[in-house]
Amino acid sequence: MQQPQIVEIRDVSFGYDAARPVLRDIDLEIPRGAVVGIMGQSGCGKTTLLRMIMGALRPAAGTLRVLGRDTAGLGREALYAMRREMGMLFQFGALFTDLSVFENVAFPLREQHGELPGELLHDLVMLKLEAVGLRGAAQLMPAELSGGMARRVALARSIALDPRLILYDEPFTGLDPISFGVISRLIRNLNDSLGATSIIVTHDVQEALGVVDYVYFMAAGRIIAQGAPDEIRRSREPFVNQFVNGQRDGPVPFHYAAPSYAADLELAAT
């Protein structure tokens, strides 16, 4: 039986101005329950695509349906209603620096449900913090946390409202190997235990391939390859091959475009 699609993108194009398209003819489907990676070099358009799925940007052409809604026609209230069913982990956590860990996780609960009874709020926050292993850090301030811990607190905050769709923007950037292992396992476990769907936008390809069910590979605003992690590892597409194996030269050259080296050193005349 075919799974319902949580995100459906058809022929979507987008550019901040008409002369420089950022996304071109994107077709993409994300089924319920999957952990899907959107990978590619910095500047390939993957974060723009994520911002579109969040509803922060509207496509210039094509249709984009998220959680059953066409995002093009959504007003502010409808957009906020959609976002209440979504969670987002930002690249560096984006924790509120003036609030403790407890208050950070409590923030979405307070804002969406008003003043909850103290005991209920406490239990809900502790439940989320326990899920990321940081119940003991509830009273710390964000400045007292390591990068990996801050990311885990942000993850607890992003699942506070039990979202149906969780978005991750470069979740592995700047993490040590232990924190990386913790975050990648949490992404997988939380997705499965909450019955959610997850989208990971990343260029940390080796790490992400160990977590995701399916991968879309982007380059220059287009999807150039897609498939299960093993298919991506075996891909013969030159760009994917260079990217996955971290090769110095290939379709993405080592040297930035420049005039000839000899001419630059003024060797040609001698």
Q: What is the largest CA-CA distance in the chain?
A: 84
DSSP letters of the chain? -PPPEEEEEEEEEEEEETTEEEEEEEEEEEETT-EEEEEE-TTSSHHHHHHHHHTSS--SEEEEEETTEEGGG--HHHHHHHHTTEEEE-TT----TTS-HHHHHHHHHHHHH-S--HHHHHHHHHHHHHHTT-GGGTT--GGGS-HHHHHHHHHHHHTTT--SEEEEESTTTT--HHHHHHHHHHHHHHHHHHT-EEEEEES-HHHHHTT-SEEEEEETTEEEEEE-HHHHHT---HHHHHHHHT-SSSSS-SSPS-S-HHHHTT-TT-
Under a CB-based contact definition with an 8 Å cutoff, are residues 243 and 39 in contact?
yes
Q: Which of 88, 131, 159, 212 binds another protein (CB under 8 A)?
A: 88
User: Any contact of residue 194 with another protein (CB under 8 A)?
Assistant: no
* Binding span for another protein by CB under 8 A among 84-92, 184-192, 248-256, 257-265: 84-92
Residue number with CB closer to another protein (92 or 214): 92
Residue number with CB closer to another protein (86 or 131): 86
User: Any contact of residue 95 with another protein (CB under 8 A)?
Assistant: yes
User: Any contact of residue 90 with another protein (CB under 8 A)?
Assistant: yes
Q: What's the closest the beta carbon of residue 173 comes to another protein, in angstroms?
A: 13
* Torsion angle, alpha carbons of 104, 106, 109, 114, to 10: -110
The mark string for 33-62 relative to another protein (x by CB under 8 A, - otherwise) is ---------------------x-x------
* Binding span for another protein by CB under 8 A among 103-111, 175-183, 244-252, 254-262: 103-111
User: Distance between CA atoms of 152 and 137, rounded to whole angstroms?
Assistant: 11
User: Any contact of residue 107 with another protein (CB under 8 A)?
Assistant: yes
User: Any contact of residue 94 with another protein (CB under 8 A)?
Assistant: yes
Site residue total, another protein (CB under 8 A)? 22
Q: What's the closest the beta carbon of residue 84 comes to another protein, in angstroms?
A: 5
Parallel, antiparallel, or unpaired: how do β-strands 35-40 and 214-219 relate?
Answer: parallel
Residue number with CB closer to another protein (166 or 223): 166
* Binding span for another protein by CB under 8 A among 17-25, 31-39, 106-114, 192-200: 106-114
* Binding span for another protein by CB under 8 A among 92-100, 116-124, 173-181, 249-257: 92-100
The mark string for 122-161 relative to another protein (x by CB under 8 A, - otherwise) is ---------------------------------------x
Residue numbers of the site for another protein (CB under 8 A)?
Answer: 54, 56, 79-81, 83-84, 86-88, 90-92, 94-97, 107-108, 111-112, 161
